[in-house]
Structure 1
């Protein structure tokens, strides 16, 4: 449990010019008596790519701290332009308001800050060297980012547990017990399961080939049967009647003349001209 709880931060004089001081109204609660003061500090992030341009704008010691709710105003100077690259002055940056006890930081509040020109022409074509008197600063006070840290206060009993905890058993794991082994085995099982349908498909296709063989033989037998029918047209009437019965089984129209005249070979039936075939 933290001995000091931050209840709220009100950002004053916002928006303001770039060279105006920063002003905050800070409210916090102290749950127990403290032997030392609290140190509040404001830091300006001068570059998004390097912390070399960060600068502490101001710091203040607050104490002695009475138990209960406390409130005070914190005022800090604007950043030093000579420590900020020219291409980093205009745009979005961050300020950090932090509080420490006995050089141990326990709370930090971060705000986005947008620095932009008030002149529309300068917004469209910003000069290489910024014109500071025409730059406006706007702190996004509605969306602070608060981070809290567990620290030791005045006694060892108030110290937080060691983190991360000691894990001596971690060195006792077998050599094959490595992180990610289970994931790899699961991936291999999934790959094996994914290959099974492919083999099933191949088996199904092979079965189709097996079934295709007799079908081709049936077609060959049908063709052979049709050839036998044509060759038997010149034989006697008994074979001709047998031929007509086999033609009915094969869904072929009987083209033999009704009077039993065998002088002409049997012709295939002609389609009806009134029927449209699609």
Structure 2
């Protein structure tokens, strides 16, 4: 089972100007003491045609992590315009919020982001030169796409199996390739996909409506501020450690981006010193 479970992500400043910082209030639960820190990253997908325009907007280390429910605010800088194709600044793109432990990514949350001008006139007749000061971004916080990965934590017992269990009945099952696409278009969320890890290996965020703060549904338990602890960590520069991906089986709530964007390994770029968790004093 997962030692750390992502419970809720709330986009604070939304909608906002293109040049404003991204702000995410993140709530997660830790089930047992950890010897290392959690590394959070935010990546901006700059182009739908190539991963070379992807930008890591910011990263930070959070720790030491107390056992229980914890909450903190992650701030990230906006993307550098000089690194984006001018033809793809406007329109719909994606941001990816990821978390890793000891270099192993265990959860990824993707959001669609719509960038458009703040006036109907400019949207109908866009100027040849992009006016970034008039662009407003809107993160579609009500429809996140969550992917979880089974990883090894501190103990050998927590390591996922090297090979998936035998499933002889899978070869006899009817091909559902046609039905799979239909289910995705209909927005069926909260259901386990074939081959995914059992639900008890991680605490579900509840699908699209359970991760977006004010728009979250009431079907899942809300995290009380009185029962949480605030973590404050600062983000900083780069190091050259590469994330190791591909360990364990991936549990996907919905696939949002293509394999080249969502599946690529992001380079770690954080040398921030983690801060100690501060408890919230109940009122």
Give me the TM-score of the superposition, normalised by structure 1. 0.59
1:86·1:128 contact (CA, 8 Å) conserved in 2? Answer: no
2:210 is matched with which residue?
none
2:112 is matched with which residue?
112
1:40·1:61 contact (CA, 8 Å) conserved in 2? Answer: yes
Note the 1:96-245 alignment, pairs <5 A: 96-164=96-164
Note the 1:258-269 alignment, pairs <5 A: none
2:17 is matched with which residue?
17
Runs of 4+ more than 6 Å apart:
none
> Which is helix-richer, 1 or 2?
1
What is the CA distance between 1:165 and its match in structure 2? 5.9
1-side partners of 2:121 and 2:66: how far apart? Answer: 53
Given the alignment of the two structures, is residue 7 of structure 1 paired with residue 7 of structure 2, yes or no?
Answer: yes
1-side partners of 2:67 and 2:133: how far apart? Answer: 44
2:54 is matched with which residue?
54
2-side partners of 1:109 and 1:3: how far apart? Answer: 18
What is the CA distance between 1:164 and its match in structure 2? 4.2
SS of equivalent to 1:142 = coil
SS of equivalent to 1:151 = coil
Which gives a bigger RCO, structure 1 or 2 (Cα 8 Å, sep 6+)?
A: 2
What is the CA distance between 1:166 and its match in structure 2? 8.8
Number of residue pairs aligned between Structure 1 and Structure 2? 171
What is the CA distance between 1:119 and its match in structure 2? 1.8
SS of equivalent to 1:133 = helix
1:36 is matched with which residue?
36
SS of equivalent to 1:64 = coil
What is the CA distance between 1:107 and its match in structure 2? 0.4
2-side partners of 1:163 and 1:101: how far apart? Answer: 21
2-side partners of 1:163 and 1:52: how far apart? Answer: 32
Give me the TM-score of the superposition, normalised by structure 2. 0.58
What is the CA distance between 1:122 and its match in structure 2? 1.2
SS of equivalent to 2:133 = helix
Unaligned runs of 5+ residues in structure 2 are: 176-283
SS of equivalent to 1:28 = strand
